[in-house]
Amino acid sequence: MPIALIVHGGAWAIPDDQVEPHQAGCRAALAAGWDLLSRGASALDACEAAVRLMEDDPIFDAGTGSVLTSDGTVELDAALMDGRSLRYGAAANLRHIRNPISLARKLLVGPATMLVAEGAEQFAVAHGIPLIENSELIVERERALWEEWKAGRIAPSPESHTSPPPAESPPVATTVGGHDTVGAIALDQSGNLVAANSTGGTPFKLPGRIGDTPMVGCGLYADARVGAVVCTGWGESIVRVALARRAIEMLERGASPQTAAEAAIRVLSHQVSGGSGGCIVLTPGGQIGLSWNTRRMAYAYQVEGVQPTWGV
């Protein structure tokens, strides 16, 4: 049985000057996870390592470098699902955790498998994960965008569901919006599939907003008998169609992973007005699928015996 790994760095209108950093970040995450898989590590270890690396890379909207809420803070969500046991761990509205994916893994074994806000952070401390200042997650790029939005000089994307503060005679606003959710799916030597994701959400979101990322069946799903899916994009639209489960159900009906990915994105496009995003798929046989309806999606993948592939 081949080992395999696929990662993504978000589906959105990635600006031209950010294409190379996104591609480099995905390649680095792939290399980190692949190194573990090739030495016999579990799919859980590989996914956590790959996603942690992207959380620490300030180019992505996950962990350090995430977009800011309307209050000017960072709030993070993450999840991880084990395809063999169907166990999952999810955490949301985190303000003081550097690597939410590691907290999600701690939650995998229960007794509660999804925690939010203060309760999640208390659990983190009890399990050896230190808290940090929220300011440590903020980079100058996002602080400057927030200041521009606050002054009414730019508008969020429609998917953010917020409006610029009122201003007298505001200038013509440009639109800003990223859906840089990061994710990974790994297939290990034992045949297990694991899906993982992490995000800072949408720019200038309402405090407390939770999108698809930590929701099993929406932002991710893993079943070692069938396949695993991780989604990215406008979370509210992804949740409405339970996008990850849509793709899994297509695999269950015999569709190839590429067909399942493309069909799921068509559902997102056709059934939800403005539905936008992408997904990655991996099967127990090491077959890859990926599709998106946004301008770009950053990705990288490798299957045992084949050279790595990456793109946007």
Give the residue numbers annotated as catalytic, written as ranges: 181
CB 290 within 8 A of CB 299: yes
Which class for 136: exposed (0-12), middle (13-18), buried (19 or more C-beta within 10 A)? exposed
CB 115 within 8 A of CB 98: no
Can you read off the two tokens belonging to residue 194?
A: 């694991």
d(CA 191, CA 183): 19
Q: Which residues pair with 69 in a beta bridge?
A: none
Can you read off the two tokens belonging to residue 75?
A: 């709030």
d(CA 83, CA 228): 7
Closest CA to 60 of 243, 297, 281: 297
Which class for 43: exposed (0-12), middle (13-18), buried (19 or more C-beta within 10 A)? buried
d(CA 4, CA 306): 10
d(CA 212, CA 201): 9
C-alpha dihedral (120, 121, 127, 131), degrees to nearest 10: 160
Can you read off the two tokens belonging to residue 152?
A: 């009414």
> Residue 117 region, left (φ>0) first, then alpha (ψ -120 to 50), else beta?
left
d(CA 49, CA 308): 17
